[in-house]
Structure 1
Amino acid sequence: ATGRGKTKRSMLCLRNVAPAPFLAPRLKQARSTVLFSATLNPRRFHADMLGLPTGSAWIEVESPFQADQLRVCLAEHVSTRYQHRQASLGAVVALIAQQYRERAGNYLAFFSSFDYLQQVTALLREQYPDVPFWEQTRGMQEAARSAFLDRFTEHSKGVGFAVLGGAFA
């Protein structure tokens, strides 16, 4: 508190930046563990930080994608921050529909919450009924997860909607 009756707000953030002491005993008890990421380099640093047992197998594979398959587009006019989400719905839906119509194929669209995802899909369904899509739902069981993933085939076309940090991220 300050001397003039005003209070000062403080925020405490705890982050586990060195999880090895917590993970190592569990990894040691496991029969097997598979970790995968595009960002586990440098190897020794991440092995130490994650508490991997000495002599753990480590496999690096080449990306199956070619550089010409990547296209990065920035939508600087759209803010998906929490306070701007309602205002962003139309622009997000229009961008997804435009991309799909320009080059029909398989897409994954990730959202920060189920609520935001559902607002976007409701508007997409209303404004662009020709754009096929399927969506992750809360508490999806294994069969539904498999069905979601099975929709992505070499010949399928549509947009899969999922939640960041969820089963499909």
Structure 2
Amino acid sequence: MNIKIYCVNPQKVIEEKMKKAKSNIIFSATLIPMDYFMKMYSYDEEDFIINLKSPFDVKNRLLMIGDNVATTYNKRFETSCDIASYIANCVQAKKGNYMVFFPSYKYMELVFEKMKENYPDINTSIQESNMSEEEKEEFLSMFDEDNKETHVGFCVLGGHFSEGIDLTNDKLIGVIIVGVGMPQIGIERDIIKDHMKDSNKGFDYAYVYPGMIKVLQAAGRCIRTDDDKGVILLLDKRYSQRIYQSLFPYEWYPNFRVRKSDDVKTLCEKFWSK
């Protein structure tokens, strides 16, 4: 028999550790939503909080939202060709390196096969599970700013390539995120949901917030320096819902809603021509 000790709410543990220090500084680009992290880190009314805008010029990025395509589990096969079309129209607007992020390996592999079938001329690579450090470096080496042709890397949200890399300048000029990053429904997440139900935000704490944090981290791969310029495309119907829009950071405005994949190519070509 295996017994697992699972920390449902880290608030008390973090509070205990932080009180042992004279001061604590918590800094991150993805401390959104603020009230969620305030609760998790045991916020006190005397604590000082500041929310700074991104230092990067929003004119250097194009943010598009395709909120007419469903990416929920039972719709993934049905809309996989639509997703592939969105990706193709985005990357065909300008030669360069792009990354596409998915909530799971299985979903990623499904759309990857559709891309190879429908757009064989687009160079693609895919993140494998349990990659060694050498394999990760080899994967990243494909994102060379001197590439003669467009290269598209397929990756998973929450993995190594969505959080801990810096592909500056023309090493990466576009990020496409499929879905809202929501974790798979499961026992552990449901325990968190039930634990937080008194706040009426149990589902948000267990599923919505962790998912959007992954999305924010992946989108952040696109612009890493003042000189970077790139496009970001979010694909999921749920991005039109108020709960998700309330989690958009300041720098995600302005943005453009796209209703079909052809609109993406038009917007991208206009952006890159400036």
Using the size of structure 1 for normalisation, the TM-score is: 0.66
CA 1:48 to 1:81, structure 2 compared with 1: closer, same or farther past 3 Å?
closer
Greater C-alpha Rg = 1
- Report the secondary structure of 2:154's partner residue: strand
Which residue in 1 is equivalent to 2:137? 146
Residue 160 of structure 1 aligns to which amino acid in structure 2? G
Aligned CA RMSD, in angstroms, stands at 3.4
Higher helix fraction: Structure 1 or Structure 2? 2
- % same residue: 33
Higher relative contact order (CA 8 A, sep 6+): 2
Aligned length in residues? 139
Residue 64 of structure 2 aligns to which amino acid in structure 1? C
1:112 aligns with 2:95: no
CA deviations 1:29-83 (Å, max 9, x no partner) are xxxxxx974124899x9699559xxxxxxxxxx9674322211222122111111
- Report the secondary structure of 1:96's partner residue: helix
Gaps of 5+ in 2: 1-5, 19-25, 43-52, 163-274
Gaps of 5+ in 1: 1-14, 28-34, 52-61
Contact 1:18 1:50 in 2 (8 A): no
1:92 aligns with 2:87: no
1:160 aligns with 2:153: yes
Using the size of structure 2 for normalisation, the TM-score is: 0.43
| Shift in Å, 1:84 | 0.6
- Report the secondary structure of 1:154's partner residue: coil
Query: C-alpha separation between the residues in 2 aligned to 1:16 and 1:71?
Result: 39
Runs of 4+ in 1 over 4 A off after TM superposition: 15-18, 20-27, 45-51, 62-65
Residue 154 of structure 1 aligns to which amino acid in structure 2? E
CA deviations 1:85-141 (Å, max 9, x no partner) are 011100000111111111222211110111110111111011111111111111111
